[in-house]
Amino acid sequence: MLRLFCLFTLFFVASAQAEVRVLTSIKPLQLIAAAVQEGVGQPEVLLPPGASPHHYALRPSDVRRVRDADLLYWIGPDMEAFLPRVLSSRDKPQVAVQDLPGMTLRHFGDSEHEHDHDHENHDHAHEHAADDLGHDHDHRPGSLDAHLWLAAANAKVIAARMAADLSKLDAANAERYAANLKAFDARLDALDGRIRAQLAALQGKPYFVFHEAFDYFEAAYGLKHAGVFSVLTEVQPGARHVAAMRERLQQTGPSCVFSEPPLRPRLAETLTAGLPVKLAELDALGGTLPVNAAAYPQLLENLANGLSECLNSL
């Protein structure tokens, strides 16, 4: 009877030690946290599926979750501009991962972009819409490119910080967090070799994007998009803008144009109709991936597969 009582007491004490509540702003950070917490806990994410971190509006329930989480990770004010105000009243640990030592950061315009200004028809050069062929509405030249999770090296830095933070709050599982971190790094190292081999033959093949989100991934593997067809989702571009974009595609020849799920710009089919251009998707947020230890590497692998599938078919 005494033994049964002791076992019950131990079970009660263990159950009372609730898992550390980890909240991340966006799903890619949740996937990294899931690898670190594997077997111990399940991280939560703030933004619902399909929501843009550039334009999200917090609900009262979101504010409560931000307040209550034990650990909170976000990219930083260059990505989630809606968060700093509510974070100012939070009294628990919070980490803007863009500020972590060891991160490799890029700024828009770091590498040379092709611009519409190089075209022979200079009428477009003075039209604001034509500038969208080189730059994204959401991203000013010289500003931080906050899509930093698409570099595996940055994901390792983020995971290491998460493991350290979790070990401080949950010392009983510190060895598990360390082992999970080691396994995560090993997965990424193995994946890096496979992606390098997969994408080596694609260098120089032309493709365009609707959102300038992939520069970190491209820089890691020697790729570069030929241009950005940035459009405001709530505004249908004018005829001159569409004509300038179609001219760009005609001059390029066979190419791919990538949008991001869940929405494809209404302009996509009109823009590419009758041209040797293929439409495809690249998901920078991993929106449909399950939340588990293998999901973040799968996010990168899906990008590599999407690029190679379309570009190899040209």
Q: Which of 5-14, 66-75, 199-208 has the lowest mean pLDDT?
A: 5-14
| pLDDT tier, 2 (very low <50, low <70, confident <90, very high otherwise) | very low
Buried-exposed string 223-237: b where 16+ CB fall within 10 A, e elsewhere:
bbbbbbbbbeeeeeb
| pLDDT tier, 59 (very low <50, low <70, confident <90, very high otherwise) | very high
| DSSP classification of residue 224 | -
Nearest Cα to Cα of residue 187 among 74, 276, 115, 293? 293
| pLDDT tier, 221 (very low <50, low <70, confident <90, very high otherwise) | very high
Strand, helix or coil at 197? Answer: helix
Q: Which of 12-21, 224-233, 250-259, 272-281 has the lowest mean pLDDT?
A: 12-21
Supply the pLDDT for residue 55: 82
| DSSP classification of residue 236 | P
Averaged pLDDT score across all residues of the chain:
86
pLDDT in tens, 115-172: 332 333 333 333 333 334 544 545 566 689 999 999 999 999 999 999 999 999 999 9
Q: How far apart are CA 10 and CA 271, in angstroms?
A: 65
CB-count burial class (<10 Å; 0-12, 13-18, 19+) for 219: middle
Q: Which of 61-70, 232-241, 247-256 has the lowest mean pLDDT?
A: 232-241
Cβ within 8 Å of residue 295, ≥6 positions away: 31, 34, 35, 286, 289
